[in-house]
Amino acid sequence: MALGLYIHIPFCSAICNYCNFNRGLFDADLKARYVDALLGEVKRAGQAGTAGGARRSADTIYFGGGTPSLLEPTEVARIIAACRDAFDVSGDAELTLEANPESVDPDKLTALRSAGVNRLSFGVQSFRDAELRRLSRLHDTARARAAMDEARNAGFDNISLDLMMWLPEQRVDEWLSNVDAAIACDPDHLSLYLLEVYPNAPLKDDMARARWSQAPDDDAATMYVTAMERLEAAGYEQYEISNVAKPGRWSRHNLKYWTDGEWLGLGCGAHGTIDGVRTKNVSGITDYIDCIARGQPVTSDVRRMDADERLGDALFTGLRLVEGIDLDVVQKRYGVDVWRKYGADLARFLDAGLLRRDGHRLALTRNGMLLANEVMTVFV
């Protein structure tokens, strides 16, 4: 099975008020040292994965963050070259880089394309300036649209946009105007996320101070369902709870997470799963750099999952896909008849119209996607 390589770039120009990711403020010196450390980890990982002189194959590289577009294109090129040295990266590999609209310009995008990046994922979040300000984002709508145009002109033919729904003060019609604006930009792929306001997020205080609130839960459900319908009418296919794409443009890297695949997590705080072993790297940027410099392991957690956990995980993540889980494949891989093991618990979700069983496939309905967490507790 070909690996996915996830590469974490933890730097941001400013910290958004809702952010719960592993990131820190950009510092040019620290970033240069971090990139050197990453190159060291890539090399190590390649050596560790070499079996009988053969490099492990990989078919996706994903730069996530943080804000990977704060890297210089030459740094991106060095990291990609290190991956190609350490792994047998297929010629048609998907190479994605997450980008924020304010951190790119035409020259940078052209250089990133030349460096081998062939897919961009833009963190747009909203096409309404007032909403972007409430989220303390650094870009405005005009910059987001310009970044998309610049990326097309730079030769990117595979572009994804992230949008967030259920923003403070956002009404259903305002959210749908964001969806329409996104469709007008003609991306190849879209990810739609519900804003989650974490208890310690500065946004929570901002909301209390400004008396902003989120729409009622029923409106959040309407936002989700109506957006999916609108995107489907515009030619996008929903393939996962939060993701839609034009035909042939599903995210190959993210599919590894949902199809029981294998990926290596590189960089601070990165998670990986290979052959039933979960790894997590140390979270701190300087801790990570120090580990590499001292020749110490960068993993802070390495755990072999037991058979039940692997099965539960495969079912939990597989149900995120619209096509659901192939019960025959699960039986072959794990030797478990899912229906016999979980059928009694799943029956009530089938009766309630949240799950559908179609021959050997089990999948969530769209209403089931709204209550996915509840359904998935069966497997945890």
Q: Which of 12, 82, 86, 164 binds ligand SF4 (CB under 6 A)?
A: 12
Query: Could you say whether residue 181 binds ligand SF4 (CB under 6 A)?
Result: no
In angstroms, the CA 4 to CA 235 distance is: 28
The residues in 193-212 that bind ligand SF4, with binding defined as CB under 6 A, are none
**E-assigned strands of the chain?**
3-9, 11-12, 24-25, 57-65, 88-99, 119-125, 159-165, 189-194, 237-240, 243-245, 263-266, 271-274, 277-281, 299-304, 325-326, 355-358, 361-364
Question: How many alpha carbons fall within 13 Å on the CB side of residue 59?
Answer: 11
Return d(Cα 321, Cα 239) in angstroms, integer: 6
Q: Residue 224 CB, nearest distance to ligand SF4 (Å)?
A: 21
What DSSP designation does 379 have?
G
Bond from prior residue into 66 cis (ω within 30 degrees of 0) = yes
Q: Tell me if 160 contacts ligand SF4 by CB under 6 A.
A: no
Q: Which residue's CB is nearer to ligand SF4, number 68 or number 318?
A: 68
| Cβ at position 313, least distance to ligand SF4 in Å | 25
What is the per-residue binding string for ligand SF4 in 62-91, x denoting contact by CB under 6 A? Answer: ---xxx------------------------
DSSP 165-184: ES-TT--HHHHHHHHHHHHH
Window 110-129: residues binding ligand SF4 (CB under 6 A): 123
Is 21 a residue that touches ligand SF4 (CB under 6 A)? yes
User: Smaller CB distance to ligand SF4: residue 96 or 365?
Assistant: 96
Binder among 15, 25, 142, 184 for ligand SF4 (CB under 6 A): 15
d(CA 178, CA 55): 45
Q: Near ligand SF4 by CB under 6 A, which window of 60-68, 86-94, 226-234, 366-374?
A: 60-68
Please report how close the Cβ of residue 198 comes to ligand SF4 at its closest, in angstroms: 12
Rounded to 5 degrees, what angle do the CA atoms 357, 358, 364 make? 45
Tokens of 284: 């701190």
Report the residue from 69, 96, 100, 279 that binds ligand SF4 according to the rule CB under 6 A: 100
- Rounded to whole angstroms, the Cα distance separating 112 from 70 reads 11
Nearer to ligand SF4, 136 or 259 (CB): 136
Give the interface with ligand SF4 as residue ranges (CB under 6 A): 12, 15-16, 19, 21, 23, 65-67, 100, 123
